[in-house]
Every structure is written in structure tokens, then in C-alpha cells.
């Protein structure tokens, strides 16, 4: 058992450093979870935030009739057989005229596993700004926006993404994170699911067989992607589940291949999830009482699971830093 614990802790350290872990199966994969298939069961959007030396942001003027002449970030759907980075480069070239390279993912936004947007911070490596003379069905033209001039926007949802990119450019708050070329069939959360107490002790929720390992769960199409973590906690701790919040703090790394439609279109999010006691609880009379905190994680009720206390000091310190500062790539639900 000691050897298995060391191997799990080593895997956690690898994931925290931005590496991946091959997805060979899924611990929780409800029957309604179909394999991801681009243009059939899932839609991935890529979006690029690119600044010039004046901190002006690259924008494109839409050619589509439903948003004709309005402005937006270079963005579009991932095509069958593309990686996320390939799709981002293609969209920037088609819509803005520039060649580019990704710097890091800034923010991942999802409306359930059927629709996920991957927002990149990128830099120009060649090409030239698209002009009105080059207008086509992809866009009318591109331009630089100082974020002060009045500009008719297709949607104000990009303001948050632009602000996020500017903030990261000035002071990065999470490590560079780019998709790893590892295949996955479903939309999956691999969970570094932790419980901490006031003394900064940390426990990991693990599955026992076959061999100790981090739990993984497929997303259900009727819920947010991060609901997968809730399913794991519900299965492991059914009684304690209703007295705790399951908080997906962010993504250490993500894995996507996309080479074979319907077989590798899935995404695995290697996520940090905190199980946090609900600070407001009720007594037998239904009156609110303040939680005094817990010294130990809630007892596991499902024999399939166990808690493992992290004793390795360097790993514990790294986890605490991520938990307290949330210095990790955000995954936000747009429900």
C-alpha cells in the first residue's frame, strides 16, 4: 500500500506540473454519457486574444448576416480532425490575416459538455492585417481596438476574456497551460479531490481498485462539466454530500487529440477540486448554526473509496498554495 500511495502522490505532482495522464477508462461513466463526437454530440469553440505593443487587442469585423459589421475576437468552431491549437491558428489566419502561436490558455468556458470555448492568449508570428479589400465569408476586415473607442460589439462576453488576457500579459497568475496531445473518448474530469482542515492537513479521495488511483468521471450532458466531481462525492460520501460544497478550483492540464472523429474527440480536464464543509448548517429544529470546522474529512461510506492523508511536505505545500491562491487555469460554467 505504501508503494501505491507514493505512486499516486507522484502522479499528482506530475499533473500539478502541467503533465498529463493517459485515460484508459472512466470510473464513473453513466449510461447517458455518449462518446464525444465533433459536430455530432459536441461543439468546441476556440478564441484568440492578441495584443500589440500598445496593448490594443486584435478584433475582426463579422461578415455573417446575423451580426454583419459587428466586431468580435477572432473565434470559431473546431473542425473535425483538428487539435485545439490548429483550430485557433486557422481562425486567426482566416479572420485576421495573421499567423500566430499560442502563449497559454487563459480561460475555459462551458455550457455543459456539448459546448466548450477554449480562450487562448496568442502572439503574432507573421502575416498582415486583413483589409476590406480582402473581405470574404470569414470576416470583412481586422483591426486593433484600444478598448476605449466606441465599437459595435457582437457580444460583450468577450470583455471578460480581453481583461483576462491583459491581466495575464501584465502579471501571469497561473503557469503556461496548453492542450496535451493525448486522446480521450468522453468529456472527463480526472480529480485531485482534496479535503483540508484548519491545521493545513490535506487528504486525497482515491479509488481502491484496480490499484489506488485518482477518480475520473464523465460529464453528463444535462449538467455543467464540473458536475462530474459532484457525482464522485455523491457516490463516495452520500450522507456528507449535502453538508459540503464541491468546488472545482481550476485545471492543471487538459488533454485532447481530435484526430479520429468519435474516438478521440473527448477532453480530459485534470482538475483540482476542494470538498468544503458548508459553513451554514441547521440543527434538528431547522435553525441555522455556524459550522465549527472539521479536523478529519467526512467518513467514506462506499467501500470503493478511501481518504489518503498527504504526508509529503513539498506536495502538501504545493497543494495548499494552489488551494489558497487559486493560481490555476479557470474552468467556468456559463449556465
pLDDT digits (tens, 9 = 90+) for 29-85: 877 788 899 989 999 999 999 999 999 999 999 999 999 999 999 999 999 999 999
When pLDDT is averaged across residues 121-129 and rounded to a whole number, the result is 98
Report the half-sphere exposure of 155 (CA within 13 A, side-chain side).
9
Terminal alpha carbon distance of the chain: 41
pLDDT above 90: residue 267? yes
DSSP secondary structure string for all residues of 60-91: EE--SGGGTT-EE-SEEEPPTT--HHHHHHHH
When computed from its CA atoms, the radius of gyration of the chain, rounded to whole angstroms, is: 22
What was the pLDDT predicted at 174? 93
pLDDT per residue as tens digits for the range 286-317 = 665 555 557 899 999 999 999 999 999 999 99
pTM of the model: 0.93
Cβ pair 44, 105 in contact under 8 A: no
Cα(148)–Cα(151) distance, rounded to whole angstroms? 9
Which pLDDT score, from 0 to 100, does residue 289 have? 56
Cα separation, 331 vs 290, in Å, equals: 30
pLDDT value at residue 292: 53
pLDDT of 283 strictly over 60 = no
Q: Where residue 209 falls among pLDDT bands split at 50, 70, 90?
A: confident
Ranges 48-52, 243-247, 282-286: which has the least confidence: 282-286
Q: Domains (ranges, CATH) in the chain?
A: 12-36+178-330 (3.90.79), 43-170 (3.90.79.10)
Q: Are 158 and 111 within 8 A, CB to CB? A: no
Burial code of 37-67, b = ≥16 C-beta within 10 A, e = fewer? Answer: bbeebbebbbbbbbbeeeebbbbbbbbeeee
Q: Residue 281 pLDDT more than 60? A: no
3-class secondary-structure state, position 257: coil
Question: Which pLDDT score is estimated for 263?
Answer: 81
Where is average pLDDT lowest: 5-9, 29-33, 99-103, 165-169? 29-33
Which of 329, 264, 322 is CA-nearest to residue 109? 329
Amino acid at each position: 500500500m505504501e508503494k501505491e500511495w507514493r505512486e499516486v502522490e507522484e502522479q499528482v505532482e506530475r499533473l500539478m506540473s502541467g503533465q498529463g495522464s493517459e485515460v484508459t477508462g472512466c470510473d464513473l461513466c453513466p449510461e447517458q454519457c455518449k462518446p464525444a463526437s465533433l459536430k455530432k454530440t459536441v461543439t468546441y469553440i476556440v478564441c484568440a486574444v492578441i495584443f500589440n505593443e500598445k496593448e490594443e487587442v486584435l478584433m475582426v469585423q463579422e461578415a455573417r448576416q446575423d451580426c454583419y459589421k459587428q466586431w468580435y475576437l477572432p473565434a470559431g468552431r473546431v473542425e473535425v480532425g483538428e487539435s485545439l491549437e490548429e483550430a485557433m491558428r486557422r481562425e486567426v489566419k482566416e479572420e485576421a490575416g495573421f499567423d500566430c502561436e499560442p502563449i497559454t490558455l487563459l480561460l475555459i468556458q462551458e455550457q455543459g459538455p456539448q459546448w466548450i470555448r477554449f480562450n487562448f492568449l496568442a502572439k503574432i508570428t507573421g502575416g498582415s492585417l486583413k483589409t476590406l479589400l480582402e473581405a470574404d465569408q470569414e470576416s470583412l476586415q481586422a483591426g486593433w481596438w484600444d478598448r476605449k473607442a466606441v465599437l459595435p460589439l457582437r457580444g460583450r462576453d468577450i470583455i471578460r476574456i480581453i481583461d483576462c488576457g491583459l491581466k495575464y500579459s501584465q502579471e501571469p497568475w497561473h503557469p503556461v497551460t496548453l492542450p496535451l496531445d493525448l486522446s480521450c473518448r468522453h468529456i472527463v474530469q480526472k480529480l485531485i479531490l482534496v479535503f483540508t482542515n484548519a491545521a493545513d492537513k490535506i487528504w486525497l479521495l482515491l479509488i481502491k481498485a484496480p490499484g489506488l488511483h485518482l477518480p475520473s468521471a464523465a460529464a453528463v450532458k444535462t449538467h455543467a462539466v464540473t458536475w462530474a466531481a459532484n457525482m464522485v462525492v455523491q457516490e463516495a460520501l452520500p450522507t456528507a454530500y449535502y453538508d459540503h460544497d464541491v468546488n472545482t478550483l481550476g485545471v492543471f492540464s487538459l488533454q485532447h487529440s481530435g484526430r479520429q472523429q468519435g474516438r478521440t474527440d473527448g477532453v480530459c480536464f485534470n482538475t483540482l477540486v476542494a470538498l468544503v464543509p458548508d459553513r451554514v448548517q441547521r440543527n434538528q429544529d431547522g435553525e441555522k448554526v455556524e459550522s465549527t470546522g472539521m479536523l478529519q474529512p467526512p467518513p467514506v461510506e462506499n467501500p470503493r473509496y478511501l481518504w489518503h492523508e498527504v504526508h509529503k511536505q513539498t506536495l502538501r505545500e504545493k497543494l495548499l498554495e494552489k488551494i489558497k491562491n487559486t493560481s490555476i487555469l479557470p474552468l467556468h460554467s456559463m449556465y
